[in-house]
Amino acid sequence: MADFGYSLVKSGKTDLDTAGNALARSVSEAEPGFNLCIACGCCVATCSAGRFTNFGFRELIHRIKRGEEKLMIAEAEKCMLCGKCTLVCPRNINTRNIVLLIRKHAIIKGL
Amino acid sequence: MDKTVAVVGGGVAGLAAAAALNQLGYRVLLYEKEAFTGGNVRNWDRLFPKARNAREVVDELASSLTGLTEIATGTFVNSVKSTDGLFEIESSGRPAYADAVLLTTGFELFDARKKEEYGYGIFENVITSADLEKMFASSGKPLMADGSEPKKVAFIHCVGSRDEKVNKPYCSKVCCVTAVKQAVEVREALPECEVYNFYMDLRMFGTGYEQLYKEAQVKGVNFIRGRLSEANETRTHQVMIKAEDTLVSRPLQITVDLVVLMVGMSPAGSTMTILKSLGLLGNEDGFAGIANAHTGSTLTLKKGVFVAGACSGPANITDSVNEARAAALRIHQYLGGV
């Protein structure tokens, strides 16, 4: 292809018609609390890993629901499993188990 | 006692007030412009938060009226004139006099066609929350225009609420929980159907509302924080909607089979007409003005004229009924009963 000196930027739009939901489905079946997030951000405020990286649990599960499976599996690796987010969650979500389930799904699916 | 109170509007507030006034010994002239009492609640199938049958509530309130209430259905009140503490009610029926007037004129649903970009009245699979209630009442489930069952439904919150573009800057209070209730009902009626609620904030203020929101989450309803910019019809008569997924700052789109617009509460046209005839004003949103927000919500600035329910601003059934009974006591005080 001829090089015209510019490139196309991929759309940053989320298209729920084509988004994959295998990871969201497998996690929510094993841990129904996955659907209970009210996006308060308490988990991020207390996150130890978030102090040193851009990791955030709220955004992690949000983007899994929007189909960004591969990226979020890599993101979940940043969690140190300290469990502080589980302690502060007002919806009593077992956040730690969700991270473990994401890792388990990745191993089983070879991702 | 031979004193008469005119109650204008036979919805839940009007019925509750008339019954309370009867119990206090007053004769009531209850005006209702439609052929039946029950107002907007009559057009609803089931009510939040516990899915109680709406008709049951109307029937309960109507059955507590006594022979002291004379109901004038199909009668539209044009104006009320006050002379020396006596009120002359001019209506499409015969003229009448009352010693006090209670406005329970309620609300009208926002006309969704005014939000043209959402396609109500243009795209066949865009309906309102009221249309969905009719479907629940007649067939127990949502249906697309061609009669088939939808596989994806989107609820759009705040249509005709919190929107200065349509001169509705206020929150209609009950649409959030209604959307959550209807989302749950869709999931129960059609378990395979995906449901998406597009909200700006979820205002779950009443008893049992937040629990209903959690129930919706448990039942797999998807909540997306963002207001729709527009809806477009696809070649297959589905509806493609666009919003920002504000929790991750990214635009988002989805194609659904059915869009449900959560229409808000607008002031009933008759409220302002009657207020003007009495020399009274509406509030900044066009609802009836009240004496003060904290301790005088059933009083107007004119002695002998009272208000209750959604005519002074969006209200749920519980608050409308309570306010109606509170107004009855205020009227009792005004007429010298205490």
Cβ pair A14:B250 closer than 8 A? yes
Determine, yes or no, domain membership for A7: no
Q: What is the CB neighbour count within 10 angstroms for residue B23?
A: 15
Q: How far is B110 from chain A (nearest CA, A)?
A: 29
pTM summary value: 0.94
pLDDT (average), residues B42-56: 97
How does pLDDT run across B73-83, given as a tens digit for each residue? Answer: 999 999 999 99
Residue found under tokens 């509530």: B57
User: In which band, very low, low, confident or very high, does the pLDDT at A10 lie, cut at 50, 70 and 90?
Assistant: confident
- Is A54 a domain residue? yes
Which positions in chain B touch A65 (Cβ < 8 Å)? 222
> What average pLDDT does range B139-155 have in this prediction?
98
Bond from prior residue into B49 cis (ω within 30 degrees of 0) = yes
Average pLDDT over residues B189-216: 98
Q: Is residue A99 part of a domain?
A: yes
Query: Using the beta-carbon criterion (under 8 Å), do B250 and A59 form an inter-chain contact?
Result: no
The answer to whether residue A90 scores a pLDDT higher than 70 is yes
Q: Which of residues 154-213 of B touch A (CB under 8 A)?
A: 196
CB-nearest to B225 from A12, A39, A66 is A39
Partner-chain contact A15 B248, CB within 8 Å: no
Contacts of B250 in chain A (CB under 8 A): 12-14
A93 located within any domain? yes
How many other CB atoms sit within 10 Å of the CB of residue B127?
22
Which residue on chain A is closest to B256 by alpha carbon? Answer: A17
Q: Does A35 touch chain B (CB under 8 A)?
A: yes
- For B205: left if phi > 0, alpha if psi spans -120 to 50, otherwise beta; the answer is alpha
Q: Is residue A95 part of a domain?
A: yes
Cβ neighbours of A66 in B, within 8 Å: 245, 248, 252
Residue B72 has pLDDT above 90, yes or no: yes
- Do residues B106 and B308 make contact, with C-beta atoms less than 8 angstroms apart? no
**How many CB atoms sit inside 10 A of residue B8's CB?**
28
Q: Do A59 and B248 touch (CB under 8 A)?
A: yes
CA–CA min distance B98, chain A (Å):
52
Q: Work out the minimum CA distance from A2 to partner chain B, whole angstroms.
A: 32
Answer yes or no: do A16 and B247 touch at CB < 8 A: no
B32 contacts B167 by C-beta, under 8 angstroms: no
For chains A and B, count residue pairs whose Cβ atoms are closer than 8 Å: 41
Q: What is the mean pLDDT of residues A86-101?
A: 97
Give the torsion through C-alpha atoms of A16, A19, A23, A29, to 10 deg.
Answer: 40
What was the pLDDT predicted at B228?
A: 95
* B251 contacts on A by Cβ (under 8 Å): 12-14
pLDDT recorded at residue B1: 63
Least Cα distance to A72 among A108, A14, A111, A42 occurs for A111
Above pLDDT 90, what percent of chain B? 98
What residues of B are in contact with residue A17 (Cβ under 8 Å)? Answer: 253-255
pLDDT at B161 over 70: yes
What does the alpha-carbon distance between residue B138 and residue B287 come to, in Å, rounded to a whole number? 32
pLDDT of residue B81: 96
* Predicted ipTM of the assembly: 0.88
Helix (H, G, I), strand (E, B) or coil at B239: strand
Q: Is A3 on the interface with B (CB under 8 A)?
A: no
Q: Is the pLDDT of residue B132 over 90?
A: yes
> Where residue A62 sits, what CATH number does that domain have?
1.10.1060.10
- How confident is the model at residue A2, as a pLDDT? 83
Laid out side by side, the sheet with B4-8 consists of: B69-73, B27-32, B4-8, B100-103, B305-307
Give me the residues of B, 241-260, that contact A with CB < 8 A. Answer: 245, 247-248, 250-255
Q: Looking at the predicted structure, is the pLDDT value of residue A7 above 90?
A: no
* Stretch B8-30: mean pLDDT: 98
Total of domains in chain A: 1
Res. A9 pLDDT band, cuts 50 70 90 = confident
Q: Which of A99, A68, A82 is nearest to B250 (CA)?
A: A68
Residue A69 in domain? yes
Q: Is residue A60 part of a domain?
A: yes
Nearest to B218 among A15, A35, A58 (CB): A35
Beta strands in chain B (DSSP E): 4-8, 27-32, 46-47, 52-53, 69-73, 77-83, 86-91, 96-98, 100-103, 107-109, 126-128, 152-159, 194-199, 222-225, 230-233, 239-245, 250-256, 258-263, 265-267, 305-307
Residue A1 in domain:
no
- The encoded tokens of residue B154 equal 């989107």
Residues on chain B touching A92 (C-beta within 8 angstroms): none
Read off the pLDDT of each residue in B68-93 and give the average, rounded to a whole number. 96
Task: Kindly state the tokens that stand for B167.
Answer: 């001169």
Quick one: pLDDT band at residue B248, thresholds 50, 70, 90? very high
What one-letter code names the amino acid at B11? G
Is B251 close to A59, i.e. CB distance below 8 A? Answer: no
| Structure tokens, A69 | 């499976």
Mind telling me how many Å the CA of B80 is from chain A's nearest CA? Answer: 49
- Mean pLDDT over A83-98 rounds to 96
Residue-wise pLDDT tens digits, A15-74: 999 999 999 999 999 999 999 999 999 999 999 999 999 999 999 999 999 999 999 999
Q: Which domain holds residue A29?
A: 22-109
